[in-house]
Amino acid sequence: MTDLMKWFDNRRSPIDVIERLFEGDLGSSAIRVEEMVDGNTLVVRAELPGIDPEKDVDVTVTDGVLTIKGERQEKKEHKEKDSYRSEFRYGSFVRRIPLPTGVKQDDVTAAYKDGVLEVRAPMPEQVQATGASKIPITRG
C-alpha cells in the first residue's frame, strides 16, 4: 500500500484525514508509528522518546479506534565556558488508528520501553469463508 493510499484508506473517516494533516502526521508535533501483525495480534509501535508515559500519554480505545494522545516537553541545555544555549521542544500530539472489527478494548495492552510505546490488540479469529458450492436445481 503506497503512502498516498494509506491517507485515503477506507477505514479512515474524512475527519481523521483532516486531523492527520493538521494535528499529527505532518505537524512538528507528529509522532511516528508503525503497524504490523504478529501472529493474531495487531501491534502498534509509536516513537515517544523523552516522555514520561505515566504522566504525558493517554492510550484509549473508543468505537474501534485506538487513540494515542499526549504532550511532550523537552528541554536541552548546552553550557560552555563562554556560551549558553537552550532549546525547548513541546507540544501535544494525537494519533488515531482504526482497529480491526471485533477487537475487544479490554484485551488491548500497552507497554513503554526505551522511548517506544507498544500497543498490542489481539485480533478476533476470522470465520473462514468457505469456497463456492454448487446448489442443485430441482424441477417441480
Q: Does some domain include residue 138?
A: no
Provide the CATH number for the domain around residue 22.
2.60.40.790
Q: Does some domain include residue 140?
A: no
Q: What is the pLDDT of residues 98-112, one digit of tens each?
A: 998 888 888 999 999
* Number of domains the chain contains: 1
The torsion of the CA quartet 57, 14, 97, 62, rounded to 10 degrees, works out to 70
DSSP-assigned letter for residue 105: G
Q: What is the pLDDT of residues 19-67, one digit of tens each?
A: 555 544 444 456 889 999 999 999 999 998 888 888 889 999 998 999 9
User: Model pTM greater than 0.95?
Assistant: no
Which of these, 98, 105, 108, 128, lies nearest to 15 by C-alpha position?
98
Residue 59 amino acid letter: V
- HSE at residue 125, side-chain half, CA atoms within 13 A, is 2
Q: Does some domain include residue 127?
A: no
